[in-house]
């Protein structure tokens, strides 16, 4: 899932990128602000913060750790890095924690805290 996430971001495909989130009003994204809602809300948040391919840059995940909480629930954390041009906002990096649940549609993010 994380490899697919990185690949879809690096293709500039935000629609495919947010498909990893559970399409539920209970899904939450915590960054500088909190977004609640289905994938459309998460997509709108990403489009507002990354309005162009240049602003998206190239994403790399590292230091990924996954802990099984239950057979259908995991906690994942790691580091994200964006390589971007100065015009795209310059390089950026931070940490993330994801709560991921196995659903009938596969593993889906139900909570994302990224900083």
pLDDT in tens, 29-82: 999 899 998 999 999 999 999 999 999 999 999 999 999 999 999 999 999 999
- Which CATH number fits the domain that encloses residue 88? 3.10.450.50
The pTM assigned to this predicted structure is 0.93
User: Domain total for the chain?
Assistant: 1
**Quick one: CA dihedral 21, 18, 90, 31, positive or negative?**
negative
Q: Structural domain of residue 70, as residue ranges?
A: 2-114
Pull the structure tokens for residue 25: 């009003």
pLDDT for 104: 94
């Amino acid at each position: 899932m994380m490899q697919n996430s990185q690949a879809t971001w690096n293709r500039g495909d935000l629609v495919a990128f947010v498909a990893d989130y559970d399409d539920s009003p209970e899904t939450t994204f915590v960054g500088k602000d909190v977004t609640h809602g289905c994938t459309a809300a998460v997509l709108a948040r990403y489009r507002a913060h990354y309005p162009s391919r240049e602003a998206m840059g190239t994403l790399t995940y590292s230091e990924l750790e996954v802990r099984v909480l239950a057979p259908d629930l995991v906690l994942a954390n790691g580091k994200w890095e964006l390589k971007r041009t100065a015009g795209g906002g310059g390089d950026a990096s931070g940490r993330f924690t994801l709560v991921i649940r196995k659903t009938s549609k596969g593993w889906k993010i139900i909570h994302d805290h990224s900083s």
